[in-house]
Amino acid sequence: QADSGDGGDGASGKFVYVYPFDISVEHYNAALNTGVLLTAAPVAELFIPRCAILNWETHEWVPQLAESVTLDGTTLTIKLRSGIKWTDDADVTAKDVVGTIYLQKLNAAQGTIGWDQLVSATADDDTTVTVTYSEAFTGVEHGALKAQVLPYARYGAWMDEAQGLVEAGEVQGGPGQVTLAEKIAAEDFLDEDFITCGAYKFDQIGETVITMSVHEGGLFADQVKFSTIEVQKGDNAASVQLLLSSAVDYSTQVLGATDRSTIAGVEGLKELSTPGYDGIGLMLNQDRFPEFADTNVRKAFMYVFDTEVIGEIAKGAGGYYVPATYTGLPDPHAEGLFDDVELEFYATDHAKATSLLEEAGWAKESDGWHKPDGDLAEYTIIGVEGWTDFALSGEQAAGQLTEFGLNVTYENVPADNPWGIWGAGDFDIAVRQWANPFVPYVYGSWQMTWFTDNSQTADAMGMGLPTGAVETTSLGTVNVDDLYLQSQKGTEEEQAEANKTLGIVFNETLPRLPLFLNQRVSYAVEGERVNTIDPGSYELNDIYFDNPIMVRILEGGIEPV
C-alpha cells in the first residue's frame, strides 16, 4: 500500500483507540460475520462504513455511504453518495450494496425482524438501491442500512450466489445456504489487502498496534481531522494501563469499579456515560413454582431488593442506573410515556415485602418463609459462569433474599448454552437481561420481557409466564401477544398506546424482576492528542452499535490538539 502521507485537507495528528483484537486468529474475510479484524469494533465506522447510522435520540438515520434514505411504505430507497472509492480504486456502487444485502439476508437467522420481511434489493442505477419489504414496520430497514458494505469486486461471486438462493426461496439453514456458508468460512483473504471504502484504510497491521491512514477517496476522507488512527491492542487491564499513561484517547472497554478508581486521577480523563437500553433482572420460573404466579409474591421480592447495592457491586459506581419507572422500559424509552399514570415504585421496604407475602398466604417461621401450602420456600438463583455482572448480581440478590428470611442460594451454570437452560425452564430463578440493548425500538424490550426464553412449548416452557391472558388489577385481563404486535406495527399513536398499556401491565405483574439498567461508560483523555472528545448530539447513541465518537470523528467534530 503506497501511502500518500496525510490525506484530508488539513488532517494531522493521531487519534488512539484501544480494542482487544487478535491478529493471530482474525482474518480479512468481511463476508463472515465474525472473526474479522476490527469490524465488530466501534472503530469499524472509520474504515468499513454502512449506508447509515441511527441517531438513537431522534430515531433518525444519519446517512453515511448513503446520501439519503427514505422508507416509503414497504419500499426503502437508498441513494448512495457518488465518488466514493474502494481502496482498490473501484467506485462504490449500488451493486456492492445489493450484494451485501443479499449476503446478509441469506445468512440472517430466521425470525430476525427486518431481514425476514425483506423481499428484494435492486440496483436501480449506480447510486440507487431499492429494497422491497413484505410489510411495513418500525425499524424494518435497520438491517439493510446497518450492514457494513462489502466490495463486489471481492465477494461478487458469493453475493450473486446468495441472491440466486434468496430468490429461490432459500433461508438460513437450508442446504444451499449451508454450502455457501461453508465456502465463505473457509476463506480468510489474509494474503490480500482488506478492501474498504471508509475515511481510513489500514496502514500497518501489527500484533499489538494497527495504524490507519486517511484513504483519499474514502467516505468522509475530506472531513476527518486526524491523519492517523491508531488502534492499540488491549483488554481491560491494558486499557486501564494505557489510560493511566494517557497513551490512548478513547476506550470503550467496560471497566469495573476497581479499574475506575485506578484511573480516576488521570489528567484530562473524561467519562462518557450513556444510559443503556438493557439491564439485569431476574426470571422467576412460574412453571416450576406456581406460587410465583401471585403478583404479591413477585412484588414482595422486588421490595426486598436494594437494587442500588446490587448495581454498585455488579457494575460499580456509574456503571448502572436504577430505572425511573418499573415499566420494563429503559429510561430513554419510558420518558414521557407514563406521565399520567400512577406506577408502583419498588424501593427497598422489608415491611411492605413482609405484608405482601403474608397477604399471599406465606408465613415466616424460624427456618424461613413458608409457602401457603406450608412447604419451606427454597430457591436457587442461577447465573452464568464467567459473566461477572450476572454472577455478582445473582449473588447479591440471593444474599438479600436470604437476609430477608428466604432460603435462596446462588449458583453458576456453565457458559456453554445458558439459553438452552433458560429456554427449557431448567431453573428456579435465573439472572437474565431485561429490556433490549441492540435496537432503540421499544418493542425490543417487550420481546425480551415476555417472549425471549418463554416459548411455552411442551419441551421448552421457559419461565412459564402466560402472555395470552394476563390478570392485572387496573386493566383487567390483558392479551400481551396482541399488544406486542401493535407496539411493532401500528401507527405511531397505536404503538405509543400499546407501549403504555404494556408498561402498566409490567409494573403491576413484574414478568421479570428488573434490578438495574446498564449505564454505558466509555473513557476519553482530552488534551493529550485530542482537543475535546464529545458525543455532541449523539448523546444517547449506544457506544457499540452506533458509536457517537466515531460519527463525530467522521463529521470532523473531533480535532487534534
Partner 1 sequence: MTTTLDAAIAKPRKQFGETFLGRLWTGLTRSSAGFAGTLLVLAIVLFSFVGPLLVDQDNPTDTTQIWTEPSAEHWLGTQYEGKDTFTILVNSGAQPIWVGTLAALMAVFIAVALGSIAGYFRGRVDAVLLQLTDVTVTIPQFLLMLAVVAFFEDIPPWGISIVVGSTMWAFLFRSIRAQVMSLKEREFVEAARLQNLGPARIVFREILPNMAGFIFVNFVISVNQAIYAIVGLYVLGLMPSGTPNWGLMIHQSWGQNFYLNPIALPFVVAPLIMIVLFTIGLVTMGRGLDQALNPRLRER
Partner 2 sequence: MSAPPAPPPQQHAADAPPAERTGPGLVRRVWASYAFRRIRQSVFVIWLVATITFLLMHFMPGDPIQIMAGRLNSSGMSHEQAVATATNIISYDPNANVWVQYLDFLKGLVTFDLGNSLTNPSKTVFEHVMEYLPWTLFAVGAGVALAIVIGLTVGMAAAYRRGSAFDHAMTSIGSFLTGVPNYILIAAVIVVGYTMLGVLPFLDMRGRITAGVEPGFNLVFFGDAIFHAILPIIAFAFTATGSFMLNMKAATTEVLTEDYVTVAQARGLKAGRISRGYVGRNAMLPIIPQIALQLGTLVGGSIVIEQILQYPGAGQMLMQAISNRDYPVVQAAVIILATSVVIASLIVDLFLVRVDPRIKTEGQEA
Residues that bind partner 2 (CB under 8 A): 22, 24-25, 27, 29, 32-35, 40, 107-112, 172-173, 177-178, 181-182, 184-188, 190, 204, 206-210, 233, 235, 237-238, 241-242, 387, 414-420, 437-438, 452, 544-545
Beta-bridge partners for 376 = 370
Q: Which of 129, 66, 120 is nearest to 94 (CA)?
A: 129
- Report the residue number, 33 or 120, with the smaller CB distance to partner 2: 33
Give the list of residues 6+ apart from residue 86 with CB closer than 8 angstroms, or none: 92, 151, 153, 195, 196, 197
Tell me the closest approach of the beta carbon of residue 412 to partner 1, in angstroms: 6
Q: What is the pattern of x (binds partner 1, CB under 8 A) and - over residues 198-237?
A: --------------------------------------xx
Tell me the closest approach of the beta carbon of residue 364 to partner 1, in angstroms: 20
Q: What is the pattern of x (binds partner 1, CB under 8 A) and - over residues 25-64?
A: ----------------------------------------
- Report the residue number, 409 or 456, with the smaller CB distance to partner 1: 409
CB 19 within 8 A of CB 248: no
- Report the residue number, 137 or 346, with the smaller CB distance to partner 2: 137
Contacted by 391, from partner 2, partner 1, none: CB < 5 to 8 Å by type: partner 1
Tell me the closest approach of the beta carbon of residue 390 to partner 1, in angstroms: 11
Q: Which of 276, 215, 221, 292 is nearest to 462 (CA)?
A: 292
Rounded to whole angstroms, the Cα distance separating 428 from 283 reads 8
Is residue 414 near partner 1 by the rule CB under 8 A? yes
Cα-atom radius of gyration of the chain, to the nearest Å?
A: 25
Q: What is the pattern of x (binds partner 1, CB under 8 A) and - over residues 300-339?
A: --------xx--xx--------------------------
First CA to last CA distance, the chain? 28
Is residue 556 near partner 1 by the rule CB under 8 A? no
- Report the residue number, 346 or 450, with the smaller CB distance to partner 2: 450
Contacted by 208, from partner 1, partner 2, none: CB < 5 to 8 Å by type: partner 2
Rounded to whole angstroms, the Cα distance separating 250 from 467 reads 44
User: Which regions of 157-257 does DSSP assign to beta strands (E)?
Assistant: 200-205, 209-214, 226-233, 250-251
Q: What is the pattern of x (binds partner 1, CB under 8 A) and - over residues 91-120?
A: ------------------------------
Is residue 241 near partner 1 by the rule CB under 8 A? yes
- Main-chain dihedrals φ then ψ at residue 77, nearest 5 degrees: -110, 125
Rounded to whole angstroms, the Cα distance separating 407 from 420 reads 26
CA dihedral 500, 506, 512, 514 (to 10 degrees): 70
Which one of the spans 26-34, 93-101, 411-419, 536-544 is the region binding partner 1 (CB under 8 A)? 411-419
Chain CA centroid to CA 425, Å: 24
Tell me the closest approach of the beta carbon of residue 136 to partner 2, in angstroms: 21
Tell me the closest approach of the beta carbon of residue 53 to partner 2, in angstroms: 15
Tell me the closest approach of the beta carbon of residue 61 to partner 2, in angstroms: 19
Among 127, 396, 436, 454, binds partner 1 (CB under 8 A): 396
Contacted by 412, from partner 1, partner 2, none: CB < 5 to 8 Å by type: partner 1
Q: Which of 552, 495, 490, 513 is nearest to 62 (CA)?
A: 552
CB 371 within 8 A of CB 353: no
Tell me the closest approach of the beta carbon of residue 40 to partner 2, in angstroms: 6
Give the list of residues 6+ apart from residue 464 with CB closer than 8 angstroms, or none: 285, 286, 287, 288, 425, 454, 456
Among 23, 257, 324, 421, binds partner 1 (CB under 8 A): 257
Rounded to whole angstroms, the Cα distance separating 111 from 108 reads 9
Tell me the closest approach of the beta carbon of residue 128 to partner 2, in angstroms: 28
Task: Give the DSSP letter string of 291-336.
Answer: GGGSHHHHHHHHHH--HHHHHHHHH-TTSEE--SSSSSS-HHHHTT
Tell me the closest approach of the beta carbon of residue 374 to partner 2, in angstroms: 38
Which grid coordinates belong to 196?
474498504
Rounded to whole angstroms, the Cα distance separating 251 from 42 reads 10
- Site residues, partner 1 (CB under 8 A): 236-237, 240-241, 256-259, 261-262, 308-309, 312-313, 385-386, 388, 391-392, 396, 399, 410-414
